């Protein structure tokens, strides 16, 4: 079974751990750099992207995680995690940084007051069968997708129809919503498949990618 870390600085860590375990992975919480060693994949949970950004830096994890993502560590971000994986953020706070890796522009808290939190069913590329029931909580949407990234899901109706809410770029996967809270593990299974398909990134590669 692949070992997948869940960044455990803030946010809904436990839900991701349970969803990963139910999807055939060994899930381990990550709070320090040494815990990144030997991981086959990483999940960045939902929570508050500005807080997770600050804590990543306070725990001296920002550069180590960024380096590994750049070196090819498969990574899945949900909601705040999507923001942290985005190369560009609209509506961020002063000084907010992201780990980056996904060639997308996200807008924070995009759905607005009327639909701060909502649920809808989505057709999700790569997830066979029934639509995915998606739970959005003060979620971002993807405002622009660069040529490197692939759209996996968009809202189909209502005021936010057409808004992109799931993307993939190689080994990076991100959703605006929270697949970890519904009990449907198909999105986590898709991530575990991505992890299984990827050769394990070596720390040495990560170091040389950093120096390059």
Interface with ligand GLN (CB under 6 A): 46-49, 79-80, 83, 108-109, 137-138
In whole angstroms, how close is the CB of 117 to ligand GLN at the nearest point? Answer: 9
Q: Are 137 and 119 in contact (CB under 8 A)?
A: no
Q: What are phi and psi of 136, to 5 degrees?
A: -110, 130
- Considering the candidates 15, 21, 33, 79, report the single residue annotated as catalytic: 79
- Considering the candidates 180, 188, 193, 210, report the single residue annotated as catalytic: 180
Rounded Cα gap, residues 204 and 141, in angstroms: 35
Any binding-site annotation on 47? yes
In whole angstroms, how close is the CB of 183 to ligand GLN at the nearest point? Answer: 18
Any binding-site annotation on 83? no
- Considering the candidates 178, 188, 193, 207, report the single residue annotated as catalytic: 178
**Residue 33 annotated to the active site:** no
**Residue 21 annotated to the active site:** no
Rounded Cα gap, residues 61 and 36, in angstroms: 9
Token code pair at residue 32: 């320090």
Any binding-site annotation on 108? yes
> Would you tell me the crossing angle of helices 13-21 and 186-197 to the nearest 10 degrees?
70
In whole angstroms, how close is the CB of 48 to ligand GLN at the nearest point? Answer: 5
Any binding-site annotation on 48? yes
> Measured from the CB atom, is 40 or 87 closer to ligand GLN?
87
- Per DSSP, 131 falls in state P
**Residue 180 annotated to the active site:** yes
CB atoms within 10 A of CB 203: 14
Chain center to CA of 21: 17
As annotated, the binding site includes: 47-49, 108, 137-138
Any idea which residues carry the catalytic annotation?
79, 178, 180
């Amino acid at each position: 079974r692949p070992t997948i870390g869940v960044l455990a600085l803030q946010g809904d860590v436990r839900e991701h751990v349970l969803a990963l375990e139910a999807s055939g992975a060994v899930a381990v919480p990550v709070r320090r750099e040494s815990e990144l060693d030997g991981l086959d994949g990483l999940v960045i949970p939902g929570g508050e992207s500005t807080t997770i950004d600050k804590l990543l830096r306070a725990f001296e994890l920002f550069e180590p995680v960024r380096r590994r993502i750049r070196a090819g560590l498969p990574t899945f971000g949900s909601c705040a995690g999507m923001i942290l994986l985005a190369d560009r953020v609209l509506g961020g706070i002063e000084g907010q940084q992201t780990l980056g890796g996904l060639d997308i522009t996200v807008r924070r808290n995009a759905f607005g007051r009327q639909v701060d939190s909502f649920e809808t069913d989505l057709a999700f590329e790569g997830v066979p069968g029934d639509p995915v029931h998606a739970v959005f909580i003060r979620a971002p949407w993807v405002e622009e997708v660069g040529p490197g990234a692939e759209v996996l899901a968009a809202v189909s109706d209502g005021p936010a129809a057409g808004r992109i809410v799931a993307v993939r770029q190689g080994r990076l996967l991100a959703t605006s919503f929270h697949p970890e809270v519904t009990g449907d593990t198909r999105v986590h299974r898709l991530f575990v498949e991505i992890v299984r398909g990827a050769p394990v990134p070596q720390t040495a590669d990560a170091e040389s990618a950093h120096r390059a």
